[in-house]
Amino acid sequence: GFGASKGKGKAAATGDSAVKQVQIDGLVVLKIIKHYQEEGQGNEVVQGVLLGLVVDDRLEITNCFPFPQHTEDDADFDEVQYQMEMMRSLRHVNIDHLHVGWYQSTYYGSFVTRALLDSQFSYQHAIEESVVLIYDPIKTAQGSLSLKAYRLTPKLMEVCKEKDFSPEALKKANIAYENMFEEVPIVIKNSYLINVMLWELEKKSAVADRHELLSLASSNHLGKSLQLLMDRVDEMSQDIVKYNTYLRNVSKQQQQKHQYQQRRQQENIQRQSRGEPPLPEEDINKLFKPPQPPPRMESLLIAGQINTYCQNIKEFNAQNLGKLFMAQALQDYNN
């Protein structure tokens, strides 16, 4: 569904379906921000559909619309049908309607989850050029627009197609948390008329309002990021305990198998000395079923989320350091 064949037509014509750049209209950015401001509260996540087209290796996002908020009482709500009707309506009014991905808000960078991986795999499997835009309203509120585009790497796409997330399969595919997602550079484009309007608005804006962006009151954000980081580290520690338990069980079972084989060997020697036939051969793997290894994918996602939190904390510190220098320079200038 979602017009996948149409979305892949442009890329097929060029012979290269890789997306190396994402170009977003300024109106799309404003729609995403407005969607969160109207429906997102605290850690509430909002999502929506991205529409546009593919030109060579550039994905142009020209429109979007939100997923409607519905409760458990709306059991008969068909989300897929809603998206199809929206795209059909946009096509009737001659607006770009091809599905090219989706967007999602995030709470302090908490977006590296299994749900996002499964959703992006579904999009990217159906429409090869699909991306997911991650909008961080908390960073944006600090004065710097935080909007990033991600895709699943080809290695992870192959593993997801096979649906084999065992440690052996991930090791064979050489997948670590660093190469699960690939970030695509974003360029925001406005028409000339919008640029003229922005210049006019900048001239009318008060200088005092700009100084608010130099505020260093971000201890709450830093503290929350550190708390979330510690939570993920605790989850990683629990996964390590599970893996160590698995290794102990494997080692214990190997000892049991070795002891069992030694007993059978000794009994066969005794039976042979008495002139009796040896014991029948048995499938030892049926007697000692190997324990199942813990899933590796969850550990990789937790490691990826920890890496994201660390990057956010680093960016917060760098941003505050820059604000400190700017505030000091402004004070020196005023003096």
Same domain, 255 and 138: no
pTM: 0.74
Same domain, 207 and 61: yes
Mean pLDDT in residue range 71-85:
70
Same domain, 211 and 288: no
Q: What is the pLDDT of residue 51?
A: 92
Mean pLDDT in residue range 292-312:
86
Same domain, 207 and 272: no
Q: Which of 91-95, 131-135, 156-160, 296-300 has the highest mean pLDDT?
A: 131-135
Same domain, 28 and 98: yes
pLDDT band of residue 14 (cuts 50, 70, 90) is very low
Contacting residues for 264 by C-beta, under 8 A, at least 6 apart: 279
Residue 300 lies in a domain: yes
Same domain, 202 and 245: no
When mean pLDDT is compared across 169-183, 192-206, 214-228, 314-328, the lowest value belongs to 314-328
Q: Which of 89-93, 147-151, 208-212 has the highest mean pLDDT?
A: 147-151
Residue 3 lies in a domain: no
5 or 170, greater pLDDT: 170
Q: What is the pLDDT of residue 4?
A: 38
Residue 223 lies in a domain: no
Q: Tell whether the model's pLDDT for residue 166 goes beyond 90.
A: no
Domain count, the chain: 2
Query: Which range marks the domain in which residue 171 is found?
Result: 21-69+77-215
Q: Residue 59 is part of a domain; what is its CATH number? A: 3.40.140.10
